[in-house]
C-alpha cells in the first residue's frame, strides 16, 4: 500500500505545480534521419509532427507559454536546400494545424528577426498569428531567426538611443527596463521560462533566451526531437516538479 502510494507520487503530474512557461530547443532531427538513411529534411518533417503533439500535450496540461526554438540566427549557415526546406515548414504546418490550434484555444506568436525571413514564410506565420489572435489559452511562441545576443544588443541600442535623446535618465536603467526591450516583453510576467528542455543529448544553450533563463530549470533529454512524445514530455515535467527552486534564496525563505 505504502509502495503504491510512493509510486503514484513520482509518476503523476501535480496539477498545482505546472510550469507556466516551457521553452524547448528542438534538436536531433538530422541524427534521427541519418539513423534511418534518410535525408536530413525527413527529420525536420517528422520534427514538425512532434511540434503538433507537444503543443497539444502542453496545452492540455495547463502550460501557459510554450516557446520553441525553430530557427536560430546561426542556422543560415546550413546547406541552402535544408534552409529552404525549414523555411517552407511554417506554411505546411499552419495550413493543416491552425483549425486544431483554434479548437485548443492556442494562440500563435513569433519572435526573432522576422523581417529577414523569406516573404512566404513570414506571410504564413503572420496569417497563423492573426487567425489565432482571439484564442485565450496557451501561447505557442515560435523563435524563428532568433538569437539572444542579437536580441540583447538591440535592447541595449534602443535604451542607449532613448538616453541619448534624453527620454530616459541612464540612472533609471534597471532589469525591468531591459526586460521590456527584449522580444519576450509581450509575455509580461511569463517572459522567463520555468523549464528549459533541450533534446538529443546535447548540453548547450546555443544563444537561446540568455537573459530570460537566469533562474530556469534545465533538463537535457537524450531523446531526439522526432522521437519526443507526450509520454517523454510528461516525464520531464514530473522531473521538473521534483526540483526545488530557490531563486537564489533559501528554500524556506522563498516560500514565504
Q: Which residues bind ligand FPP (CB under 6 A)?
A: 26-31, 44, 47-48, 51, 70, 75, 86, 89-90, 93, 142, 200, 225
Given the complex with ligand FPP, which of 225 and 240 has the nearer CB atom?
A: 225
As measured in angstroms, the least distance from the Cβ of 115 to ligand FPP is 17
3-state helix, strand, coil in the chain (%, to 5): 55, 15, 35
Q: How many residues in total does the chain contain?
A: 256
Given the complex with ligand FPP, which of 143 and 155 has the nearer CB atom?
A: 143
Which residue's CB comes closest to ligand FPP?
A: 30
Residue among 29, 75, 141, 145 flagged as catalytic: 75
Strand partners, 111: 143
Closest CA to 112 of 68, 77, 73: 73
Given the complex with ligand FPP, which of 77 and 252 has the nearer CB atom?
A: 77
Active site annotation includes 75:
yes
Residue among 3, 14, 16, 27 flagged as catalytic: 27
As measured in angstroms, the least distance from the Cβ of 16 to ligand FPP is 31
Active site annotation includes 174:
no
With a CB cutoff of 8 Å and minimum separation 6, the contacts of 81 are 41
Measure the CA–CA gap between 148 and 23, rounded to whole angstroms. 14
Grid cell 496569417 is found at 127
Given the complex with ligand FPP, which of 70 and 236 has the nearer CB atom?
A: 70
Closest CA to 151 of 69, 247, 225: 69
As measured in angstroms, the least distance from the Cβ of 185 to ligand FPP is 22
Catalytic residues: 27, 75
Amino acid at each position: 500500500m505504502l509502495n503504491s502510494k510512493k509510486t503514484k507520487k513520482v509518476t503523476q503530474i501535480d496539477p498545482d505545480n505546472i510550469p507556466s512557461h516551457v521553452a524547448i530547443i528542438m534538436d536531433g532531427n538530422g541524427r534521427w534521419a541519418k539513423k534511418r538513411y534518410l535525408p536530413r529534411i525527413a527529420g525536420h518533417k517528422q520534427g514538425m509532427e512532434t511540434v503538433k503533439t507537444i503543443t497539444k500535450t502542453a496545452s492540455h496540461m495547463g502550460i501557459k507559454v510554450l516557446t520553441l526554438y525553430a530557427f536560430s540566427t546561426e542556422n543560415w549557415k546550413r546547406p541552402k536546400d535544408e534552409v529552404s526546406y525549414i523555411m517552407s515548414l511554417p506554411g505546411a504546418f499552419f495550413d493543416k494545424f491552425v483549425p486544431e490550434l483554434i479548437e485548443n484555444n492556442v494562440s500563435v506568436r513569433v519572435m526573432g528577426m522576422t523581417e529577414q525571413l523569406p516573404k512566404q514564410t513570414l506571410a504564413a506565420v503572420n496569417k497563423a498569428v492573426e487567425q489565432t489572435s482571439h484564442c485565450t489559452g496557451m501561447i505557442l511562441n515560435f523563435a524563428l531567426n532568433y538569437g539572444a545576443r542579437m536580441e540583447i544588443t538591440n535592447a541595449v541600442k534602443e535604451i542607449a538611443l532613448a538616453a541619448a535623446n534624453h527620454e530616459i535618465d541612464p540612472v533609471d536603467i534597471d532589469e525591468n527596463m531591459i526586460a521590456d526591450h527584449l522580444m519576450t516583453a509581450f509575455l509580461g510576467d511569463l517572459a522567463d521560462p520555468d523549464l528549459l528542455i533541450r533534446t538529443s543529448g546535447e548540453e548547450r544553450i546555443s544563444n537561446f533566451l540568455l537573459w530570460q533563463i537566469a533562474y530556469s530549470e534545465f533538463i537535457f533529454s537524450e531523446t531526439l526531437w522526432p522521437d519526443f512524445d507526450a509520454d517523454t514530455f510528461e516525464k520531464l515535467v514530473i522531473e521538473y516538479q521534483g526540483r526545488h527552486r530557490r531563486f537564489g534564496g533559501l528554500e524556506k525563505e522563498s516560500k514565504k
